Structure 1
């Protein structure tokens, strides 16, 4: 039980590391005139397409979001585009305010409004890749990267991404409902685990009035599991963390390849960057310092998300570019606002909101399972019951996420003068 709890805490730490990456990427894009200019130029064909569709009757487009065959066009309307901006804003607010967890709601949110699971996954990966390319300052982080670890890790992550993408496409070709069921089940398992421990952690902290935020990882310490793995001498051996401990540390390349495979497969199946897994695997499992882990994580997100999005989904027609651009725009705004809110709310409240956001995603996917199981004749319930349960899950999900969004915006505008003064103070101090 303690090991599972520690693993949960490290998953949260990994999710927070990914949230810091999200904030950095959005800040780099917003503060750069040429990056914003490129983003605006990319919006031109989307807006022109919306005007053309609004002017016509749209009869030439299929009335579905994604089809059974590859390259089938997605049904685009201005409403879908603005809805994707809203999804991006909500995810960004959660990421910025909570410091973790925002990316977990994107695929469930898209699937809840009727987007096929495989299309939601591919679109989310492309959105992450677009943000990484536009906002990347990778050269500033190269000092924290062990090139040997990163390249070896990417060998595994590319293989894992290929396997995960092939699995998703194979299931989709068999039956689109089976594909949705598989993706939904993965989210139920991951979010259920996180939800249980997040709620337990919040109530425990509230009773103890604790200000502790997760666990700390000392760069000089190596976890017991990391010590055992580093003691295995299977060539080739890689040296890393030379700047952390004299002589550095050594680990067999096979463990990096396996770790990369797990992260890449999870990223390709769930449509996430993999950052929430890289941190616990590196720090807890392999005994890599957090400094080296953060640099390597940023490095792998760009390549893992990019490879997965382009080679496993985009070329097969499973990326909804309009949605991806909308989510990118929304998340840029949401992350910035959410990050400011952390200055005016307590740490315990933030932990409570993290638990609430993850639980909302879990409930949404959990209530979607019966209808999909019924469609495949795995369980015997009426169509109306399955649809009713799915509606309950969708309603609870959007009520919770919508209420959270309204609350964050309320707190932001209520404290905007104080936040602006504090921001100017920080700029002056720098």
Structure 2
């Protein structure tokens, strides 16, 4: 019993950490969407840049890489149907709504959703990661600044993340070349483990309504931990200095922990199709003792470089990025995250926690039910076609019913409170005018 209790406690603790990490990722996505949408029509023009770059890359490389781009090893379709593009917008909208409402990254919806509608796992990962790269580069180009970026932290981090992304991409591609079904099972297994831990904590948090170590808006709190002080005290060279404008004389630490964390983040990004920022933020703040002000700008910079390198060099050049689907997901998520963030103003905290918990359980169920059929296709299990069909149907039904119901619920809450949102905006504008006149 004691062993089971320790395992349960460890699982909940890990789930809490992962939840905090996903909240950091959501904050970044919300910031990027506000910057992009704030420029109205201009962001549409910028949105086309990654598409043009990807198409140009394919055309330029087709003659030199016939075995990959346009060849038998590439999986990317040569065209997109209207239904496929509309479906990608809907998937992005769902993820954006969930991200905006729960204040945690909704990326766990994207890859399972794409895989559920027939996209191969490796292509779902590459496409998901490319859409994050497009969002990051668009937000940065339009905003024209990255905040208080520490250049050398970013350099050492990217050195590790590039190495990690290369390793993760090679593993994913090697498994896919051996067996596409095994590749889908491998990616599904990663999501089963991650969402299983997250779901256990989310359900526990929902039931117990535990708000310890959280701020009022659900974001992680900043702290200079004993571990961070110990890490900074290790006298190894070379070192990197940071927070000179915040702490007299600044702080410093050896570059090796930064490189190691970069490797882990890059590997995770390449294997799961995430940006990695949801891991970087709390590690920088809690583990390294770097201020939030420095972390935000540096984290945005590393996300751009990590996702750019991984999505292009590890997936795009091998034909595993579906640019039209990525742009559809981007359009949907930009709008959805804003609607979701506004809807939280009229939704109860317990309702938000319930949505978070149940959507994670939906994603977990979807990938868990997909494992036996994929392993059966790969030849590692022997089950009847009827059983695989039932499992797939159950997983897809649970997933899409719950996600669609919650998406409609969130949109209804948004439109119901749109009058209230306008009144608040008008009051804020009048208050600013009053302050300026005085």
Normalised by the length of structure 2, the TM-score is 0.85
What is the rounded CA distance, in whole Å, between the counterparts of 2:174 and 2:391 in structure 1?
28
Residues 1:190 and 2:194 are matched in the alignment: yes
Which one is further off, 269-278 or 374-383?
A: 374-383
Which one is further off, 35-44 or 376-385?
A: 35-44
Residues 1:21 and 2:28 are matched in the alignment: yes
**1:248 aligns to what?**
250
**1:174 aligns to what?**
178
Q: How does 1:369-384 map to 2 (within 5 A)?
A: 369-384=371-386
What is the rounded CA distance, in whole Å, between the counterparts of 1:26 and 1:352 in structure 2?
25
**2:134 aligns to what?**
130
What is the rounded CA distance, in whole Å, between the counterparts of 2:16 and 2:275 in structure 1?
19
What is the rounded CA distance, in whole Å, between the counterparts of 1:179 and 1:138 in structure 2?
38
**2:147 aligns to what?**
142
Compute the displacement of 1:174 (Å): 1.0
What is the rounded CA distance, in whole Å, between the counterparts of 2:267 and 2:185 in structure 1?
17
**2:101 aligns to what?**
97
* 8 Å Cα contact 2:22/2:105 also seen in 1: yes
Q: Give secondary structure in 2 for the equivalent of 1:380.
A: coil
What is the rounded CA distance, in whole Å, between the counterparts of 1:198 and 1:272 in structure 2?
20
Q: Give secondary structure in 1 for the equivalent of 2:111.
A: helix
How large is the Cα RMSD of the aligned pairs? 2.7
Which residue of 197, 202, 209 maps to 1:205? Answer: 209
Residues 1:155 and 2:163 are matched in the alignment: no
**1:83 aligns to what?**
87
Compute the displacement of 1:212 (Å): 5.6
Which residue of 26, 30, 33 maps to 2:37? Answer: 30
**1:55 aligns to what?**
none
Could you list the per-position Cα deviations for residues 53-93 of structure 1 after superposition, in whole angstroms to 9, with x for gaps in the alignment? xxxxxxxxxxxxx9961265355211000000100110110
Number of residues of Structure 1 aligned to a counterpart in Structure 2: 406
**1:286 aligns to what?**
288
Compute the displacement of 1:379 (Å): 2.8
Compute the displacement of 1:160 (Å): 0.7
Compute the displacement of 1:320 (Å): 0.6
Distance 1:149 1:95, change over 3 A: same
Which residue of 311, 314, 321 maps to 2:313? Answer: 311
Q: Give secondary structure in 2 for the equivalent of 1:170.
A: helix
What is the rounded CA distance, in whole Å, between the counterparts of 1:21 and 1:107 in structure 2?
19
Q: Give secondary structure in 1 for the equivalent of 2:167.
A: helix
* 8 Å Cα contact 2:89/2:331 also seen in 1: yes
Which one is further off, 33-42 or 287-296?
A: 33-42
Residues 1:225 and 2:227 are matched in the alignment: yes
**2:436 aligns to what?**
none
Q: Give secondary structure in 1 for the equivalent of 2:320.
A: coil
Structure 2: tracts of 5 or more residues without a match:
1-5, 53-69, 433-438
**2:58 aligns to what?**
none
Compute the displacement of 1:207 (Å): 11
Structure 1: tracts of 5 or more residues without a match:
46-65
Could you list the per-position Cα deviations for residues 212-269 of structure 1 after superposition, in whole angstroms to 9, with x for gaps in the alignment? 6657534xx4223323333332211222233343333222111100000000110111
Compute the displacement of 1:205 (Å): 0.6
What is the rounded CA distance, in whole Å, between the counterparts of 1:264 and 1:179 in structure 2?
19
Distance 1:348 1:241, change over 3 A: farther
What is the rounded CA distance, in whole Å, between the counterparts of 1:10 and 1:373 in structure 2?
31
**1:61 aligns to what?**
none
**2:276 aligns to what?**
274
* 8 Å Cα contact 1:12/1:276 also seen in 2: no
Could you list the per-position Cα deviations for residues 123-154 of structure 1 after superposition, in whole angstroms to 9, with x for gaps in the alignment? 111111111122226654332x2222111111
Normalised by the length of structure 1, the TM-score is 0.87
Compute the displacement of 1:170 (Å): 1.1
Compute the displacement of 1:404 (Å): 0.5
Could you list the per-position Cα deviations for residues 381-405 of structure 1 after superposition, in whole angstroms to 9, with x for gaps in the alignment? 2222122112111110000100001
Distance 1:427 1:154, change over 3 A: farther
**2:410 aligns to what?**
408
**1:343 aligns to what?**
345
**1:53 aligns to what?**
none
* 8 Å Cα contact 1:94/1:102 also seen in 2: yes
Q: How does 1:315-394 map to 2 (within 5 A)?
A: 315-394=317-396
Compute the displacement of 1:305 (Å): 1.0
Q: Give secondary structure in 1 for the equivalent of 2:146.
A: helix
What is the rounded CA distance, in whole Å, between the counterparts of 2:51 and 2:219 in structure 1?
46
What is the rounded CA distance, in whole Å, between the counterparts of 2:23 and 2:96 in structure 1?
13
What is the rounded CA distance, in whole Å, between the counterparts of 2:78 and 2:179 in structure 1?
18
Q: Give secondary structure in 2 for the equivalent of 1:405.
A: helix
What is the rounded CA distance, in whole Å, between the counterparts of 2:374 and 2:180 in structure 1?
10
Compute the displacement of 1:211 (Å): 8.7
